[in-house]
Each structure stands twice: as structure tokens, then as C-alpha cells.
Amino acid sequence: MQLFIVVSTKGKLNMKSLRILLTVFLFIKLFCVHGQTQMMHIAGYGSSNFKASFLRVEDRTLTSKSIVGSEYLTKEWMIGELRLKNNIKYKSLFRFNIASQNIELIYNNDTLVFMDPFQVLAFNFMGKKFIYDIITSKDHFGPYIQGAYLEVLVDGRCQLLKKYDKSISESNVGLRYGAAETSINAYQTQTSLFIRVEENTSPTKFYGKKNELLHLLGKKRKEIEEFISLNKLNLKKENDLIKIISFYNQII
């Protein structure tokens, strides 16, 4: 099964087209686990050679010019390290596209998108560690299953994970000299926290409620409750939640 696609378009490759291609890939991946893969051989940046499957994107910038801001964690290309489950490591210039949940890298003046996130063991970028996992999310249509890159805030038997999202908001801006208002679409960044209580279990989204946390960490409910009270911790603050999960890992 061919797992990299060369996209040859004269015009722009929009986000909708890319999402369709990636959705098709994930569908095939789930149901064709034993299929053969055609691999692209790439020389690493300061590392040994690396084999992986990629989607080649003709355009460096996937953001529509009509939208203010960026769909990336940072627009600048920065050196990072991608480590696969077979222990192959690859160092290169990367960007993390939050909107499409893709890792992009530069190779021979092309932008390549890593196409097989299920192979990823860890992605280290901007001083952060990311892993790929399947989570359950909700929108106005209801719950749905989604694959996403999650930042590891606390590692250990119990993990605290952070998901980044991008949405597009519309606002009206009044122009000077009596001109009519105009609408501006802009990317907004949102984050949400997930807790994985045990290895090989799905991360659970955390909404910042004390009873919710005590239920998840029920094995040490009394100790956690005392720790929160003694240190006057606020469960809606990320740093305080990091302290709680770190403490939980110490006592289990």
C-alpha cells in the first residue's frame, strides 16, 4: 500500500483538500494494518538516514490569506526531533500544524507532511514533548473520535497531557474616516487538558472539577484531597494540576 502521495497542483492546496487526503489515509491505516508500505528514503538533518511515509505539499503556506494569524504552533521552522516506535530518530526543521494536527518538515525545497502518526513515539519540538493518541472530543454535533498530538506536561504512570486546537473567529472592525465596518477572520488558539491514569488506556478530558479529578485518581483519593487543601491548589490552573499529578505519581 502506497503511503506517500505527491500532490501536483497548479493552484493552492487548501486545508479542506488536505484534511480529506489525511482522513482517507487514517481510514486506510485503521483497516489495512498489514498492508505493504512504499517508503521514501530521506537524509536526516545531522542524524542517520530515515525512512518514513510522507505527503508532499507543493505550497509552503497552507493558511488562507483572508485569515489573520497562523494555524501553526509557531510559523517559524525550528529544529526538532521525531522518534518512531522502531527507535529511528530524525532531526530536521519542523512545524506543527495545529489546525490539521500534522507534523511538517522541509526536504529539497518541498514541505512534507508526516503521514503515519501511529508510528510516532515522541515528537520533541520547541522544548516540548508530544505524543500521538486517539481521544474523544465533542463539538456541536456531539462526541467524536479524533487522533491528535498531545503535549506531555507530566510523564510517568499517570500522564497529564495538553491538546492544542485552532478555531476561526469572525469580528467586525470599524475603519477610519466613516467607512463601513469590515469583517476579519482570525485564528484563535485553545487548549484542553487530558489525564491518562494508567498505561495503555485512553486519555480522559479534564474539565477542572475537583470531584472529577478525585474520581480519576480514586486509588489515592484521600491523599490527593489533603494535598490540594494543604497547598491551596486551583484545579483550573495548569501549574497546580501539574503539581497534583506529579504528587500522585510519587505515591502510587
pLDDT tens string 86-124: 988 888 899 999 999 999 988 778 888 888 899 999 999
Whether the pLDDT of residue 163 is over 70: the answer is yes
The pLDDT assigned to 140 comes to: 79
Residue the block writes with cell 517508503: 39
Single out the residue in 93, 126, 159 at which a domain terminates. Answer: 126
Whether the pLDDT of residue 173 is over 80: the answer is no
pTM higher than the cut 0.85:
no
Asked if residue 165 and residue 67 are part of one domain, the reply reads no
The pLDDT assigned to 24 comes to: 52
Asked if residue 205 and residue 158 are part of one domain, the reply reads yes
Would residue 137 count as lying in a domain? Answer: no
Would residue 134 count as lying in a domain? Answer: no
With vertex at residue 160, the alpha carbon angle to CA 54 and CA 206, rounded to the nearest 5 degrees, is: 105
Domain that holds residue 100: 1-126
Would residue 139 count as lying in a domain? Answer: no
- Kindly list the distances between the CA atom of residue 111 and the CA atoms of 60, 62, 201, in Å, as whole numbers in the listed order: 6, 10, 34
Cα–Cα nearest to 248, from 191, 194, 195:
195
Say how many domains are in the chain.
2
Would residue 92 count as lying in a domain? Answer: yes
The pLDDT assigned to 38 comes to: 31
In tens, the pLDDT along 216-244 reads 999 999 999 999 999 999 999 999 999 99
Whether the pLDDT of residue 10 is over 90: the answer is no
